[in-house]
Amino acid sequence: MTDPLLLCFEDECAAARRLAAAGRWALTTVERHRFPDGELKLRLPEVLPEQVVVYRGLHQPNEKLVELLLVARAARQAGVAHLCLVSPYLGYMRQDMAFRPGEVVSQRIVGGFLADLFDAVITVDPHLHRVATLAEAVPVAQPVVLSGAPALADWIAQQRPGALLLGPDEESAQWVAQAARRHGNDSAVCRKVRDGDRSVRIELPDRAWAGRQVVILDDMASTGHTVAQATRLLRQAGAASVDVAVTHALFAGDALEVLQAAGVGAVWSTDCIPHPSNVVSMSDALAAAVQGVLAVSPVPMIPPA
């Protein structure tokens, strides 16, 4: 069997290169041309191996879903037997139920779409609040979920030893508990009610906040209002510092300004979404997951010269 090939797109080359280096795979960028009318033309290598891994994060997902459709169908036509998608951030996972009659449950539809195209989907901290497993949302043969919490916990332990880890809502309890266990941090979780895209009400848990170093830990920050509101309450309660660590640095629009105005100190994230706040890389964990689904042994280390 020939070696697997990793495919990426120009805007995510840096992260894909880190993954290729960690897995010792060849990496090729999909050629992409945009016609004047907005349509896309993609070009893959003329010959593809039996196993192909596509690296595509699904932040700003709409056009990328079309790219994945074109790439996956073309790869199958070219004879690819096993297609794996590495999507460190999986978009459309938050619309997991119809809150009003007629609302489209995007999670199931996008999940089904990806499962039709790929044999394996590897992702990090997907937003699965009302379903228990990735397989329910993306019914693919090989679903793999990794977490950014351990790597963020290690970073926080170096930067703010002894900090209290705070989850801004009940859903974040899973990541906060995991991170706190790793280094023995104190931890707590807030209650949150969302009134709109940019409007949340948060209730801090009952703790002695005065003088404490607090790190807010969550799967993602989008508009930043969840973290900003928690930060304002912590500052009012006398916290000595409030920093933020998230797996997915969506930071839409003026989110960073919103955080700064609320009194957030440092903003840290994994490299699942390319962003200036990236401080920890998921590439080794992703490479191990890819090796697992491809069922290939790691390539032997090259001995030092």
Q: What minimum distance in Å lies between the beta carbon of 305 and ligand R5P?
A: 47
Judge whether 41 counts as a catalytic residue.
no
- Of the listed 56, 82, 192, 248, which one is catalytic? 192
Q: What minimum distance in Å lies between the beta carbon of 224 and ligand R5P?
A: 5
Instruction: Name which position in 168, 185, 264, 291 contacts ligand R5P (CB under 6 A).
Output: 168
Instruction: Name which position in 68, 217, 225, 293 contacts ligand R5P (CB under 6 A).
Output: 225
Q: Can residue 243 be called a binding residue for ligand R5P (CB under 6 A)?
A: no
Instruction: Name which position in 107, 222, 283, 291 contacts ligand R5P (CB under 6 A).
Output: 222
156/139 Cα distance (integer angstroms): 34
Q: Can residue 96 be called a binding residue for ligand R5P (CB under 6 A)?
A: no
Q: What minimum distance in Å lies between the beta carbon of 280 and ligand R5P?
A: 18
Q: What minimum distance in Å lies between the beta carbon of 176 and ligand R5P?
A: 11
Q: Which stretch binds ligand R5P (CB under 6 A): 135-143, 158-166, 178-186, 216-224?
A: 216-224
Q: Which stretch binds ligand R5P (CB under 6 A): 14-22, 40-48, 143-151, 169-177?
A: 169-177
Instruction: Name which position in 187, 223, 231, 247 contacts ligand R5P (CB under 6 A).
Output: 223
Known catalytic residues? 192
Where do contacts with ligand R5P occur on this chain (CB under 6 A)? 168-169, 171-172, 200, 218-226
